[in-house]
């Protein structure tokens, strides 16, 4: 295990690793061990917002069995959770609470936006009272479309997230936000304004799309 200065991601030549593996010698890096440990025991936060939550619950039950991925421990407190599954409609009244809960989760934390509502407002997009996507305020790692997405879709999102965790590097320029001292750890909680949430989005995580006609 070569632990060169700032070179955790290239500590072992991949081809050499495969070659050694064929001979029955397994090499790994601290980074791989670390990522393997994290991706194999993601603890989701226990909260559901609307109909999509029913599918999320179904995913954790025996038939779909989220426990296969080490993620059956739904925590009722943000302090103990590292995955937020935004499952359902985020109304503008609920959005500040969701953002505050996200802020209270311990790093590293991940977000899966589940369902049409959570990613875009869904069937209520034209309404006045539903947030048009939770990614306006917090960084979302995996979006799942569907109304509601089937449990298989949530499992797929889960595997995508695991892949994403597996590829994160401990050091270097493209290390994730939570390992970067300068990156912000707080995401401003919106407040109820006269007509809408204020601010309407967090410019650090979401840019207002330009409509080209």
Instruction: By CB under 8 A, name the binding residues for another protein.
Output: 77-79, 97-98, 100-101, 103-104, 107, 170-171, 178-181, 184-186, 189
Stretch of residues binding ligand SF4 (CB under 6 A), selected from 44-52, 100-108, 163-171, 191-199: 44-52
Asked if 129 and 117 count as a contact pair (C-beta separation under 8 A), the reply is no
Q: How far apart are CA 66 and CA 213, in angstroms?
A: 43
Least separation in angstroms between CB 130 and ligand SF4: 9
Q: Which residue in the set 71, 85, 86, 117 belongs to the binding site for ligand SF4 (CB under 6 A)?
A: 117
Q: Does 157 bind ligand SF4 (CB under 6 A)?
A: no
Q: Which residue in the set 44, 78, 133, 148 belongs to the binding site for ligand SF4 (CB under 6 A)?
A: 148
Residue 153: Cβ within 10 Å count: 17
Q: Does 98 bind ligand SF4 (CB under 6 A)?
A: no
Dihedral sign for Cα atoms in the order 138, 141, 145, 149: negative
Least separation in angstroms between CB 78 and another protein: 6
Say which entry of another protein, ligand SF4, none residue 194 contacts (CB below 5 to 8 A, set by partner kind): none
Q: Among residues 111 and 116, whose Cβ is nearest to ligand SF4? A: 116
- How buried is residue 211: exposed, middle or buried, by Cβ count under 10 Å (0-12/13-18/19+)? exposed
Q: Does 52 bind ligand SF4 (CB under 6 A)?
A: yes
Q: How far apart are CA 141 and CA 39, in angstroms?
A: 14
Say which entry of ligand SF4, another protein, none residue 52 contacts (CB below 5 to 8 A, set by partner kind): ligand SF4
Segment holding 163, helix H or strand E: helix 151-166
- How buried is residue 145: exposed, middle or buried, by Cβ count under 10 Å (0-12/13-18/19+)? middle
Question: Which letter does DSSP use for residue 137 in this model?
Answer: T
Say which entry of ligand SF4, another protein, none residue 40 contacts (CB below 5 to 8 A, set by partner kind): none
Q: Does 88 bind ligand SF4 (CB under 6 A)?
A: yes
> Distance of alpha carbon 127 from its chain centroid, rounded?
26
Q: What are the residues binding ligand SF4 (CB under 6 A)?
A: 50-52, 88-89, 115-117, 122-123, 147-148
């Amino acid at each position: 295990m070569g632990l060169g200065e700032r070179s955790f991601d290239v500590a072992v030549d991949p081809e050499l690793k495969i070659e050694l593996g064929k001979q029955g010698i397994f090499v790994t890096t601290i980074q791989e061990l670390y990522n393997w440990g994290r991706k194999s025991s993601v603890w989701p936060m226990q909260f559901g917002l609307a109909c999509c939550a029913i599918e999320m619950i179904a995913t954790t039950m025996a038939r779909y069995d989220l426990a296969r991925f080490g993620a059956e421990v739904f925590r009722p407190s943000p302090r103990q959770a590292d995955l937020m599954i935004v499952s359902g409609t985020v109304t503008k009244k609920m959005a500040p609470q969701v953002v505050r809960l996200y802020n209270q989760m311990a790093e590293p934390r991940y977000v899966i936006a589940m369902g049409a509502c959570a990613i875009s407002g869904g069937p209520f997009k034209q309404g006045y009272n539903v947030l048009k996507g939770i990614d306006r305020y917090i960084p979302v790692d995996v979006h799942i479309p569907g109304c509601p997405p089937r449990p298989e879709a949530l499992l797929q999102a889960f595997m995508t997230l695991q892949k994403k965790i597996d590829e994160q590097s401990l050091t270097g320029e493209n290390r994730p936000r939570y390992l970067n001292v300068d990156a912000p750890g707080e995401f401003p909680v919106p407040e109820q304004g006269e007509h809408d949430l204020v601010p309407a989005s967090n410019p650090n995580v979401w840019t207002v799309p330009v409509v080209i006609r």
